[in-house]
A and B are shown apart, each in its own frame.
Chain A
Amino acid sequence: MKTSKQIGKSVNRLEGYLKVTGAAKYAGEYDVPDLLQGYIVNSTITKGKILEIDESAAHALSGVVAIFSHNNRTKLPWFDIMYADMDAPPGTPFKPFYNDQILYNGQPIALVVAETFETARYAATLINVTYDEEPFETELAAHLDDARDPKKGIATLIKPLPPSANGDFEKAYNDADAQYAGEFIHGTEHHNPLELFTTTTVYEGDGKLTVYDKTQGTSNCQIYIANVFGLHYKDVRILSPFVGGAFGSGLRPQYQLFLCVMASLELKRNVRVTMDRAQMFTFGHRPQTIQKTRFGATADGTLTAINHTAIAETSQHEDYTEVVVNWANMLYPAKNTLLDYKLVPLDVFSPMDMRAPGGSTGLHAIEATMDALSYILKVDPMELRLLNYAERDVSADKPFSSKELKQCYLQAAEKFGWANRKSEPRTTRRGNRLVGTGMSSGIWDVIALPAKAKASINKKGKLKVKSAVTDIGTGTLTVMTQIAADSLGIHIDDVTFEYGDSNMPLSPIQGGSYTTGVVGSAVKAACESLKKKIFKKAKKMNNSTFNSVALEDVVFEDGSIYLKQDKSNFVTFKEIIADNDGKKIKASKNNIPNVLKLKQYTRAAHSAAFVEVEVDEQLGIVNVTRAVTAVAAGKIINPKTARSQILGGMIWGISKALREETLMDHNLGKYMNTDLGEYHIPVHADIHELDVIFVDEKDDIINELGSKGVGEIGLASMAPAIANAIYHATGKRINKFPIHFDQLL
């Protein structure tokens, strides 16, 4: 079969049909025999001690099999390290049911296991818990004086703390011709992927478990469960082939996994534990963050001074950090900088990564400050960015591995019609509505990590590639299949990518926009290794015409090896394997990035967003009427799935700027709007014209594919562009997210 290059093609999602027909099974959908159902009981106080758990009424209910709590839990390891996972921040990981201490409101304190879900849920309401309550603190704004430096740990490697100060900020700021200082307040946000966190544990006997889990890391959960419950790694198999959205919420093993496995091991039964929507608000979240900026520029618009500080909440037990303040000086080469990032521990669960963690927070402050400066300087907002364009990352004193941000600005501005913009705020109207436009830059790191993949080819000439990686809805399956097909020169229909299974070669957790680059490079490397082996076999064949030919002299195309010089000289993969007695040829590769080379460069994806908003002058109602985002993210493996990623990021930007916020009652220490009726994410009626541009960008440094990843970059620039457009429409600069319409009255 004639093959064509798959990389760069808009291949439809290979699992799309399964998903839209409901055939794709999620963690809570496996039909397992004799399945027991668990329902979690959560703490209704914020801090204190459990005095008593009265389970009598629940136990009396027919169909209740067992109730677990700290009183009768499995014996657990003492040492924190046994609870650590690939994404654990410095500190002490949360240990469910460890003791009687309540650390936060909503903490899981008991698990009811029953014959049906309905029985378990009802029994859970009959459990009476007596507490000894203690005073608690949950409000960041009331504790800014308690801010302290974060503890360092392994997580610091991919989330570096701010670089040290450069030059003399205070002097430069005081001397600046134009100054803007702002305070930016971001509330809490909770992950709300459509699929609820669920685990189905199949008890296989002999200490063996098969676990269907909603996760972004099968290997991560395998290691965690084996360590916590003292099982052999090989006896714990975690499967997660389909994930109904995750966005960071599945980077760490969530507590339903722990509870489900504990119940299964104790009862020696198959057990499922499903969180309900309200329980989705009882683990990690995007932290409350309060930022301050002071930027100074010369009259011609050259940025001379950058001060960006952030204070974020964390829990009392872990120091969760984000990269919030490191971006401004990567984007704009001011000589005098003062950057600071601090934490305030509060009586909440540990925050965790949520799409563009830190970046989407920090960029709002940076890009709104730049916007404000542009009005003070009377320079067009895009022009101010171009005036301060960083050809080199002065914050790290390194070149960029590649950077086409300028093209992002220019191409998006052209498509948006930015040139027609009136520069003064409040100058355009449609009836009662003020119309404004705004723009923002976006940046996100490119992370390199090791990953492993295996590849094999069988007598039918079919290629199979394996990795433990998940596909959290981003198109990983499709993209990996495209990469494998091109690597071996084989038709895409002849490639199977197997994934979402901890029995497969180790993969890092799926996050940070790095999966395509990291796992894709491992897939490519495994295929390259396989090619060598196939070629070696080809040379050994009787009457082989490749005897004296080197690998460089042949091409792999159409399921065959061709001599470059003479394409009539070829041998098919099928013939080679037939000659190998029909035995598969296999290869395995652990792809380790060249850290020494990578360290010489700043590696980042970039974006630029241009947004139009309408704001009702008397009533404040805001609509994002159109937006264009241009992205420079290296090689785009699949423009269709990549576009979906960017659109999703843009919609999240609308959500972040205008909709999304978890409301906490600080008198109760409790999140109150814990359902999708009151936790507002955008609906269809909120979304109007959205456009995506991928700018050509070549990068030979970052990885073998030149791909930077697109999971986060679409969100990074969107929310600040909306805030800036609202300013242009109304003349009001609202620095608190989300911007509610009543703030514009």
Chain B
Amino acid sequence: MNNFTYQKVSNPNDALNKISKNNAANFIAGGTNLIDLWKYNLAHPKTLVDINGLNDYKIIKEDEHGGLFLGALATNSDTAYHKLVEERYPLLSKAILAGASAQIRNSASNGGNLLQRTRCYYFYDASSPCNKRNPGSGCPAKNGLNRIHAILGTSEDCIAVFPSDMCIALAALEAVVHVKSPDGEREIEFSNFHRLPGDTPELDNNLKVNELITGISLPSEGFAENYSYLKLRDRNSYAFALVSVATGMVLENNKITKIRIALGGIAHKPWRVVAAEEFLVDKSPTEENFASAANMILKGAKGFGKNDFKIELSKRAIVRNCIMALHPESQRPGAQPSL
């Protein structure tokens, strides 16, 4: 870990000012990912701008559109256990609690959760080639240990997956990300926040240089009646998803009027296929219909050998999770499969 300058800020403009003057500066909030990367010799910030003093971004409150605003600096735990989140957006609460460990969730911020880096083995090993870490050096995962890697939206250069659970629920909820920069403020739809690797896998998302995430707003529809998060992994806690599914559904007279399905663990960003969701509208919530939607979602999926199983597994997971969403009370701790 190199020597660095540490600065604490107490207002957003000060934070943006400090970061924009310094190429090797990073914001630090919970630090649950950056410190790891630093210790592993994968990140080398020269300046840390500590934004934990930006108290305005710690709040969780109802907004004027009937939705909920989640401050970027509210912790993952505070968000998951917030009364309004539990009542109105239980999908988000369950997804957050399926991730990491209690200690990490207590420290990790909402903004930081969006920015966590892939857990690809090769990315995490400073001496291995990796196009994401060291553009142009190659991707050993394609012909190597790729059981945990992507099956959708991959590129020649990168098959890494985005590891968050929280963001899969946020994608299903169609959240909006609020950012601030010296040029002003803007909003980014969740589906446009993260990106596919293409030929610039070093970029995980569409956040611009010198932009600070200030919060995430959730629309008024929280799918509190019919929702489910399912996480399939190699152990029941403290493991990243091989496949995860977030489903939110609105039913009327046993017909689907609205449904959102987002997948994690299979792509460089939370994966949604709008056409599949539209297909299900006005249909009955049956296994057959969900299976048809699952086929649409997985269209074009491609395995790399060790992760071929994810294609069929994703389809089955979508079907199960949509059925689980009809019985949200059946959910088990850690987003294990139920029913």
Q: Which residues on A are within 8 Å of B, measured CB to CB?
A: 44, 118, 121-122, 125, 431-432, 616, 618-621, 623, 659, 663, 665, 667-668, 670, 672-673, 675, 677-678, 680, 682-686, 740-742, 745
Please list the 9 inter-chain residue pairs (A to B) with the smallest Cβ-Cβ separation, ordered nearest first: A685-B236, A44-B127, A672-B121, A742-B309, A685-B237, A683-B237, A125-B41, A665-B144, A618-B316
Flag if A680 contacts B1 (CB, 8 Å): no
Please, which residue of chain A has its CB at the minimum distance from the CB of B2?
A: A122
CB distance from A96 to the nearest CB of B (A): 20
Query: Contacting chain A: which of B20-28, B213-221, B329-337?
Result: B329-337
Please, which residue of chain B has its CB at the minimum distance from the CB of A106?
A: B127
**Cβ 8 A contact of A618, one of B3, B145, B320:** B320
Q: How far is the CA of A48 from the CA of B240 in the complex (A)?
A: 35
Q: How far is the CA of A677 from the CA of B336 in the complex (A)?
A: 18
Q: Given known contacts A125-B41, A685-B333, is B313 in contact with A619 (CB within 8 Å)?
A: yes
Q: Given known contacts A118-B1, A665-B145, A670-B128, is B236 in contact with A619 (CB within 8 Å)?
A: no
Q: How many pairs, one residue from A and one from B, have CB atoms within 8 Å of each other in the complex? A: 90
13 more contacts with CB within 8 A, not counting A122-B3, A670-B128, are A121-B1, A619-B313, A619-B337, A621-B337, A659-B234, A665-B145, A667-B140, A667-B144, A668-B144, A677-B238, A678-B119, A680-B234, A686-B237
Q: How far is the CA of A44 from the CA of B336 in the complex (A)?
A: 38
Contacts of A663 in B (CB 8 A): 121, 145
What are 30 A-B pairs at a CB distance below 8 A? A44-B127, A121-B39, A122-B3, A431-B338, A431-B339, A432-B337, A432-B339, A616-B337, A619-B313, A621-B337, A659-B234, A659-B235, A663-B121, A665-B144, A665-B145, A667-B144, A668-B128, A670-B125, A672-B122, A672-B145, A673-B121, A675-B124, A677-B238, A684-B237, A685-B235, A685-B334, A741-B232, A742-B242, A745-B312, A745-B313
CB distance from A102 to the nearest CB of B (A): 13
Q: How far is the CA of A188 from the CA of B143 in the complex (A)?
A: 20
B40-62 CB contact bits vs A (8 Å, 1 = yes)?
01000000000000000000000
Flag if A742 contacts B128 (CB, 8 Å): no
Flag if A621 contacts B232 (CB, 8 Å): yes
Contacts of A675 in B (CB 8 A): 124
Give chain A's interface secondary structure class.
loop
Please, which residue of chain B has its CB at the minimum distance from the CB of A654?
A: B235
CB distance from B92 to the nearest CB of A (A): 21
CB distance from B100 to the nearest CB of A (A): 9
B317 close to chain A: CB less than 8 A? yes
Flag if A683 contacts B236 (CB, 8 Å): yes
Flag if A745 contacts B140 (CB, 8 Å): no
B239 close to chain A: CB less than 8 A? yes
Q: How far is the CA of A621 from the CA of B126 in the complex (A)?
A: 33
Contacts of A432 in B (CB 8 A): 320, 337, 339
**Cβ 8 A contact of B235, one of A668, A670, A683, A745:** A683
Flag if B236 contacts A122 (CB, 8 Å): no
Please, which residue of chain A has its CB at the minimum distance from the CB of B129?
A: A668
Contacts of B319 in A (CB 8 A): 618
Please, which residue of chain A has its CB at the minimum distance from the CB of B315?
A: A618
Please, which residue of chain A has its CB at the minimum distance from the CB of B230?
A: A619
Q: How far is the CA of A618 from the CA of B322 in the complex (A)?
A: 14
CB distance from B163 to the nearest CB of A (A): 10
Mark out the residues of chain B between 230 and 268 whose CB falls within 8 Å of any chain A CB in the assembled complex: 232, 234-240, 242
CB distance from A201 to the nearest CB of B (A): 25
Q: How far is the CA of A390 from the CA of B310 in the complex (A)?
A: 46
Contacts of A621 in B (CB 8 A): 232, 336-337
CB distance from A584 to the nearest CB of B (A): 50
Please, which residue of chain B has its CB at the minimum distance from the CB of A740?
A: B234
Please, which residue of chain B has its CB at the minimum distance from the CB of A278?
A: B40
Q: How far is the CA of A531 from the CA of B263 in the complex (A)?
A: 73
Contacts of B126 in A (CB 8 A): 125
CB distance from B150 to the nearest CB of A (A): 16
**Cβ 8 A contact of A680, one of B122, B125, B239:** B239
Please, which residue of chain A has its CB at the minimum distance from the CB of B39?
A: A121
CB distance from B301 to the nearest CB of A (A): 15
Contacts of B235 in A (CB 8 A): 659, 680, 682-683, 685-686
Please, which residue of chain A has its CB at the minimum distance from the CB of B148?
A: A678
Flag if A742 contacts B144 (CB, 8 Å): no
Q: How far is the CA of A685 from the CA of B145 in the complex (A)?
A: 26
Q: Given known contacts A618-B320, A668-B140, is B339 in contact with A678 (CB within 8 Å)?
A: no
